[in-house]
Structure 1
Amino acid sequence: MTRKLLKTTASALAITFAFSATGALAQDMPSKEEMWKMIQQQQEQIKKLEAIVGVTTQKVEETAVKVAETEKKVEATGAALDNVAVTASAGSTSATTIGGYTELHYNGGDADQIDLHRFVLFLGHEFNDNIRFFSELEVEHSIAGEGQVGEVELEQAYVEMDLNENTRVSVGQILIPVGILNETHEPPTFYGVERNNVEKNIVPATWWEAGVKLSGNLTESFSYDLMMHSGLDTTGAGYKIRSGRQKVGKAPWKNTAFTARASWQAMPGVEFAGTFQYQDDITQSGGLDQSASATLFEAHANVERAVSDNGTFGLRALFAQWNVNADQADLLGRDTQRGWYIEPSYKITLDDQNAVGFFARYSVWDNEAGDSIDSAYKQTNFGVNYWPHKNVVLKMDYQVDSFASESKEDNRLNLGVGLYF
């Protein structure tokens, strides 16, 4: 740009000089001194012009640099704002989570009733990569309060912390690591309208306690859980296991229980697991019943294997038994309480969203297996689940009872709908 201005100036001067020379021809020629003076004046003018052009060029270049720097700052600010927006979005969607499930049941037969059995809300929060919180609040039978059929329960509320890549510890109110359904009981995850009676009356699901749990993986296929927690209190319940759940509501903790579980993933879709629990007194040392130590042993297999492009074979089998050491429990036949069930199934995937599954289940349980009287409950269920979405299920099954007391038999049709999110 400077060179162009100089060339233009030189041309102008040449033209001026030519006109001056032409005029001089018509008049008297200037002297040498006058010519030299004119040249010096013209050189000074050229220097002034160069200075002006140089300053202008420098200012233009500086302005261009400032504009470029400003553009970079604007771009950097925009990128920073984008990053902030992404971080905030990630925090709002992953740091705190909410979910839940619900199930509505119709039971025929002697019951002949409809019941919003459960409405459950999950609330969790991830404090950082190593510390997280889980909770589960449940309303049973739709309406709770004095004189009402339902109740409100807090099933879980605990903090989980990673000790290392393979080990974590949980502290708070936690579901006991036992059985198939106790920890995973959302309606789309199991067959049948109602939960099976073996895990309801013997295990007894859903069962939670307050305590500390250590969990980890020894290998890719072998995991374990060790838990020290509050225990059962069967005082006044005649050593009936399900009635001994305290649900951590101002619960006496005079006797600690210990639970250990080992789980083996033999291959994808095939799990074998066993749980052992010991409590030195399931009456919490005082009350109407004689103190009694108790042990629980539970073992199960849970299989879900693809056998074709759209077909999956399933099999659940479980055995559980309590041994209660007390003279009064022995007299009642409740020194031994056991149950088992087997449940084959076949699921057909219709498309990406829809599936239908068929199952049959045979269950036997007896909370008075220690006596010589036939007091076992036997039940056969068979039916169908239809999933219009993997998290939504419609259920139908027929229940056939075979109890020692015919008055307790209740053959019936069960219908249900459930979902979780």
Structure 2
Amino acid sequence: MKPIAFASVLLMVAGVAFAQGTTSIGGYGELHFNKNTYSPGKPEKDRVGLFDFHRFVLYVGHDFNDWVSFKSELELEHTQVKSSNSQSEVALEQAFIDLKFSKPIGFRAGIFLIPVGFINEFHEPNTFNGVERPSVDRVLIPTTWREAGIGIYGEVMEGISYRLYYVAGLNPQKMNEKGIRDTRQSGYYSQADDMALTGRIEFLPLPELKTGFSFYTSSLELNSVYADTLSGSRFTLLEGDVRYQVGDLSLKAVGVYSMVSEATKLVTELKKNIGDSQMGYYVEAGYNILPAFLPDSEQSLTLFTRFEEYNTQYSLSAPAVKVAGTDVNEFTAGITWLPHPNVALKADYQWIDASGSPDMTQKLNLGIGYYFY
């Protein structure tokens, strides 16, 4: 079935069921304008401004009763699918059965989002500052990261919740010096001889303070034609984050560290300069200035700045060599206007300093996004 026809069927089915009061539909989308205003060493065509309707997403959920439900998410990226080698895609991002036995324990089975960091699970455009998602949440945490498997979740007590999933692992044949983004299998005939364990725990010690800790670990031995020579190879990622909101001031910090056991075996077999470890973090501060002018408005107008550093070759072992562009610093400054809590208009400017580049790349980004459910 063609992707657009499939989406049409989903909408028709959802519409009929919604009338019966058992099914809900929703979605989000975002249009971006990106322009490299200064890109040293790059051809003139790299400074052309581009419009891109980056994401168009539809949610369909169904409650069978008060504890059994189905949730799904279908995404179209870059407006259309032209060919197999284009960046566009129609993807089933989520489709799982949810059994909520009680508040402390629930069970899920299907394709769902990996619980690493807070943006991978909740990335609607009204939930974060900046036109593009933070680079740490794209490079080190390959958002949007999804996989097929099973898992449990719950809230063990007020302010403490968890998720623990057992999912298909990574495809090590696609690992390279840029990290693990290309190793995601995403439930598309996912090889499952090597499974992965991933989880997240969140603490809310104060109403204005949220903290989270995530992990992901996957063997790299069996999901590969090099299984006999990759003995002991494993990828492990650790993440921590803090979000603090007091009045109109918001502060965020995220740190990520990952490591590849027996990386030299992967380097030798794949002929790729894979790092022994990867590291990154970002800190962000935002302030909503609108209450000073419209104290009773539901709107917000947030000025923000964000600094990021990430390195996909944080440590290396021979025969791997350092590759340009793997150690990056980014500074972003911008504004986010929410005329409604679920509608976002954004603008930001970025300075990007990548290893091996003669000077900083500078980018202008504009965007508009929405979310409904």
TM over 0.5: yes
Match runs of 1:155-194 below 5 Å? 155-194=93-132
Asked if 1:355 is matched to 2:300, the reply is yes
TM-score normalised by length of structure 1: 0.73
Counterpart residue number, 1:61: none
Match runs of 1:2-401 below 5 Å? 92=19, 94-109=21-36, 110=47, 112-146=49-83, 148-238=86-176, 240-281=179-220, 284-287=223-226, 290=230, 292-306=233-247, 312-326=248-262, 327-329=264-266, 332=273, 334-347=275-288, 348-349=290-291, 350=294, 351-371=296-316, 375-401=326-352
Cα drift, residue 188 of structure 1: 0.7
Q: Report 1 or 2 for greater relative contact order, CA contacts < 8 Å, sequence distance ≥ 6.
A: 2
- Describe the shift of the 1:93–1:361 C-alpha distance in structure 2 as closer, same or farther (beyond 3 A): farther
Cα drift, residue 91 of structure 1: 6.8
Q: Verify the 8 A CA contact 1:234 1:283 in the aligned structure 2.
A: no
Q: Verify the 8 A CA contact 1:234 1:243 in the aligned structure 2.
A: no
In the alignment, the residues of structure 1 paired with residue 157 and residue 346 of structure 2 have an alpha-carbon distance, to the nearest angstrom, of 37
> For residue 130 of structure 1, what is the amino acid of its counterpart?
W
> For residue 355 of structure 1, what is the amino acid of its counterpart?
S
Q: Verify the 8 A CA contact 1:94 1:126 in the aligned structure 2.
A: no
- Gaps spanning 5+ residues in structure 1: where? 1-88, 307-311
Q: Verify the 8 A CA contact 2:171 2:224 in the aligned structure 1.
A: no
Say what the alpha-carbon RMSD is for the aligned residues. Answer: 2.3
- Describe the shift of the 1:208–1:408 C-alpha distance in structure 2 as closer, same or farther (beyond 3 A): farther
- Describe the shift of the 1:123–1:282 C-alpha distance in structure 2 as closer, same or farther (beyond 3 A): farther
In the alignment, the residues of structure 2 paired with residue 270 and residue 413 of structure 1 have an alpha-carbon distance, to the nearest angstrom, of 32
Cα drift, residue 232 of structure 1: 1.2
In the alignment, the residues of structure 1 paired with residue 259 and residue 181 of structure 2 have an alpha-carbon distance, to the nearest angstrom, of 14
- Describe the shift of the 1:187–1:277 C-alpha distance in structure 2 as closer, same or farther (beyond 3 A): same
Cα drift, residue 202 of structure 1: 0.4
In the alignment, the residues of structure 1 paired with residue 98 and residue 221 of structure 2 have an alpha-carbon distance, to the nearest angstrom, of 28
> For residue 78 of structure 2, what is the amino acid of its counterpart?
H
Q: Secondary structure at the match of 2:138?
A: helix
TM-score normalised by length of structure 2: 0.82
- Describe the shift of the 1:90–1:115 C-alpha distance in structure 2 as closer, same or farther (beyond 3 A): closer
Cα drift, residue 209 of structure 1: 0.7
175-184 or 236-245, which moves further after superposition? Answer: 236-245
Q: Verify the 8 A CA contact 1:333 1:370 in the aligned structure 2.
A: no
Counterpart residue number, 1:414: 365
- Describe the shift of the 1:206–1:91 C-alpha distance in structure 2 as closer, same or farther (beyond 3 A): closer
> For residue 411 of structure 1, what is the amino acid of its counterpart?
Q
In the alignment, the residues of structure 2 paired with residue 305 and residue 177 of structure 1 have an alpha-carbon distance, to the nearest angstrom, of 26
- Describe the shift of the 1:181–1:94 C-alpha distance in structure 2 as closer, same or farther (beyond 3 A): farther
Cα drift, residue 92 of structure 1: 3.0
Structure with the larger helix share: 1
Q: Secondary structure at the match of 1:223?
A: strand
Q: Verify the 8 A CA contact 1:260 1:275 in the aligned structure 2.
A: yes
Cα drift, residue 303 of structure 1: 1.9
In the alignment, the residues of structure 1 paired with residue 17 and residue 153 of structure 2 have an alpha-carbon distance, to the nearest angstrom, of 28
> For residue 319 of structure 1, what is the amino acid of its counterpart?
G
